[in-house]
Amino acid sequence: TERRKVYLGTNLKMYKTIGQTLAFLTELAERTRDIPREQLCLFVIPSYLALPAATGAVDQDRIGLGAQNMHWEDSGQFTGEVSPLMLKELGLRLVEIGHSERRQHFRETDCEENLKVLSALRHGFTALLCIGETGQEKELGISDERLRQQLKLGLRGVAEAQADRVWVAYEPVWAIGVQGTPASPEYAGAKHQLIRETLLELFPERGREIPVLYGGSVNPENAAALSRQPAIDGLFIGRAAWEAERFETLIRQV
Ligand code: PEP
């Protein structure tokens, strides 16, 4: 049987200057030169500011580039925001939407994530919708309800025909970052199954094809076990991917 395609990507958050981003991308491209991309979708999501230089520096068929956020309006009186038209002009294909840090620190709601998803899809981007329960929701035993809610609200109004440009990242908030502890492969696998079932409810035709990535304290020690879970299509990585050498080690393990 053919090996399924694995999705591996990193969000650089508010790390790396333009120069550091370029150095990282160049080294990553070099280190992954021999890996065929038929079975690997590799992507990096730098800060807005680094994107123009980044698009000139890498072949996006080898390393896809995405934006960390986007406003849903094409233009307007939204000081400090970035519009889909600006990102489109750069030749980006991917936009990350609803990372837990956006939801936590910038008070983004499911309704706003939905506006962004719809706008991104309308403009031809792939929308990477991030969802995940908080530690409190987990303790209260409402993780499944919350995940279903985030999917149903976040993907509301998405047409079945657009679903081939939807990716989902399952990132339990309690697992993310320095204070986080990774979800066990079993826990993550079970939540991925729930996510798949919900996606199939929303998109009976294409729901099965939507890549669902796990994120939250992925490291070279747990990456292989997580990606072996049948319901996990890939990994969305923070800290453990920000050095090209460490990221390469991880890539070669899954
Ligand atoms: C993230 O914030 O998306 C993430 C997965 O971070 P980390 O891997 O550092 O926990």
ipTM: 0.97
Does residue 1 surpass a pLDDT of 60? no
Provide the CATH number for the domain around residue 218: 3.20.20.70
* pLDDT, tens only, 117-142: 999 999 999 999 999 999 999 999 99
The answer to whether the CB of 176 is under 6 A from ligand 1 is: yes
Residues 6+ apart with CB under 8 A from 139: none
Task: Domain of residue 144: give its range.
Answer: 6-251
Percentage of residues in the chain with pLDDT exceeding 70?
99
Taking the CA of residue 218 as reference, the ligand 1 atom at the shortest distance is: 8
Per-residue pLDDT tens digits for 6-56: 999 999 999 999 999 999 999 999 999 999 999 999 999 999 999 999 999
Residue 27 lies in a domain: yes
CA distance 148 to 139: 17
Q: If pLDDT is split at 50, 70 and 90, which confidence band does 4 have?
A: confident
Pocket test for ligand 1, best of 100, 168, 218, 226 (most atoms within 8 A of CB): 218
For residue 77, report the distance from its CA to the centre of ligand 1, in Å.
32
Measure the CA dihedral 30/51/238/225, to 10°. -50
Total structural domains within the chain: 1
171 lines ligand 1 (CB under 6 A): yes
Q: What is the pLDDT of residue 3?
A: 66
* pLDDT(192) > 90: yes
The answer as to whether 1 is a domain residue is no
pLDDT of residue 237 exceeding 90, the answer is: yes
Q: Which pTM value belongs to this model?
A: 0.97
pLDDT (average), residues 242-248: 98
Q: Where are the alpha helices (DSSP H) in 41-122?
A: 51-57, 84-89, 100-105, 110-122
Q: How far apart are the first and last CA of the chain?
A: 17
